[in-house]
Chain A
Amino acid sequence: DAKTTQPPSMDCAEGRAANLPCNHSTISGNEYVYWYRQIHSQGPQYIIHGLKNNETNEMASLIITEDRKSSTLILPHATLRDTAVYYCIAGMDSNYQLIWGAGTKLIIKP
């Protein structure tokens, strides 16, 4: 089961790109990287996931390094509503449970 390392907190100015790093150096070849966020008092919200290639959707972009040992979630134009705890998850255990790390608390400042 791959573990992840994320900075405990980050700040970003409103309107700028927020780049959230994640280290998952023990990830195996068939494990996906997932990103979720959780805004206070709400359930986790799925953002994006990928295996090897970079991915983009309407919310964010996911950049995975060629060796797959780290990834970066990019929110292109951060708004105040993007303030949340962001979880990087590298794979699942044998019971298909997502292996959650401690997350990064992202604060968007006006």
Chain B
Amino acid sequence: DTEVTQTPKHLVMGMTNKKSLKCEQHMGHRAMYWYKQKAKKPPELMFVYSYEKLSINESVPSRFSPECPNSSLLNLHLHALQPEDSALYLCASSQVVRSGQPQHFGDGTRLSIL
């Protein structure tokens, strides 16, 4: 069982829809991450939040909009996605953003764009 909870587990949406992915952790971690994973590939970093502030954006298109309402929650707002955005979206957290701090992952949201 993972201590990082992501909802929903599956999401199917059209290219004109707006939806949000949610992530929650109660480990007291102050760093949270969004990753994208395509089939048979390792995860790719999208965003990093440190102490509720966006610290890293890996040149992600603006149709993905992250939000960190508080230290336990992380959202990813989706709008006007493309079929190639279909993937597994993973949330992770660590105590802080620092080498030697392992990241703990949720089980992801499997997103399909029609």
Q: Is the CB of A91 within 8 A of B99?
A: yes
Given A32-B99, A34-B102, A41-B107, 17 more A-B residue pairs with CB atoms under 8 Å apart are A32-B100, A43-B2, A43-B90, A43-B106, A43-B107, A44-B105, A46-B103, A46-B104, A46-B105, A49-B102, A95-B56, A96-B97, A96-B99, A98-B43, A100-B42, A101-B42, A102-B42
Q: Is the CB of B90 within 8 A of A44?
A: yes
Q: Which residue of B lies closest to A99 (CB)?
A: B42
24 intermolecular pairs with C-beta atoms under 8 Å apart: A32-B99, A32-B100, A36-B105, A41-B107, A43-B2, A43-B4, A43-B88, A43-B92, A43-B105, A44-B43, A44-B90, A46-B103, A46-B105, A49-B102, A87-B42, A95-B45, A96-B48, A96-B99, A97-B45, A97-B58, A98-B43, A98-B45, A100-B42, A103-B42
Residues of B contacting A: mostly? loop
> Is A60 an interface position by the 8 A CB rule?
no
Over the window 72-90 of chain A, the binary record of Cβ atoms lying under 8 Å from chain B Cβ atoms (1 yes, 0 no) is 0000000000000001000
What are the residues of chain A within 8 A of B66 when measuring CB–CB?
Answer: none
Q: Which residue of A lies closest to B56 (CB)?
A: A95
Task: State which residues 39-69 of B face A: CB under 8 Å.
Answer: 42-43, 45, 48, 56, 58
Total A-B pairs, Cβ < 8 A: 54
Interface size on B, residues (CB 8 A): 24
- Give, as a whole number of angstroms, the nearest-CB distance from B9 to chain A: 10
Q: Which residue of A lies closest to B94 (CB)?
A: A96
Over the window 16-49 of chain B, the binary record of Cβ atoms lying under 8 Å from chain A Cβ atoms (1 yes, 0 no) is 0000000000000000000000000011010010
What are the residues of chain B within 8 A of A92 when measuring CB–CB?
Answer: 99
Q: Which residue of A lies closest to B4 (CB)?
A: A43
- Give, as a whole number of angstroms, the nearest-CB distance from B21 to chain A: 13
Q: Is the CB of B99 within 8 A of A43?
A: no
Top 7 nearest A-B pairs (CB, nearest first) are A100-B42, A43-B105, A97-B45, A43-B107, A44-B105, A46-B102, A95-B56
- Give, as a whole number of angstroms, the nearest-CB distance from A44 to chain B: 5
- Give, as a whole number of angstroms, the nearest-CB distance from B110 to chain A: 8
What are the residues of chain B within 8 A of A14 when measuring CB–CB?
Answer: none
